[in-house]
């Protein structure tokens, strides 16, 4: 399963939102990856997420595979669209 999402928060995917995203992704059994600019990284790793250097308004692909991919896609989409506010 793949989704196209866009970073909406002004600071981009820096340490705090990367930590929030990695924590949320780790709640699911599925493999969850983020792909941008020919780089694909695990969404469960804060360091991997930060290495992508995603900026405001940058689009990325969320790639999910596993038994709870549907639930994970909903939860992560909401997190990104709400600017990483819980």
User: Catalytic residue numbers?
Assistant: 14
Write the burial class of residue 9 (CB in 10 Å: 0-12 exposed, 13-18 middle, 19+ buried): middle
Side-by-side strand order, sheet with 59-65: 2-6, 59-65, 31-36, 39-42
- CA distance readout (Å), 39 to 30, 51, 53, 54, 61: 19, 10, 11, 11, 10
């Amino acid at each position: 399963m793949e989704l196209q999402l866009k970073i909406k928060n002004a600071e981009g995917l820096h340490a705090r939102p990367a930590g929030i995203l990695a924590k949320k992704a780790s709640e699911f059994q599925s493999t969850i990856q983020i792909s941008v600019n020919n780089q694909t990284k695990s969404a469960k790793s804060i360091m991997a997420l930060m290495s992508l250097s995603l900026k405001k308004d940058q689009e990325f692909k969320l790639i999910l595979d596993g038994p709870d991919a549907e639930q994970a896609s909903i939860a992560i989409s909401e997190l990104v669209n709400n600017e990483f506010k819980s």
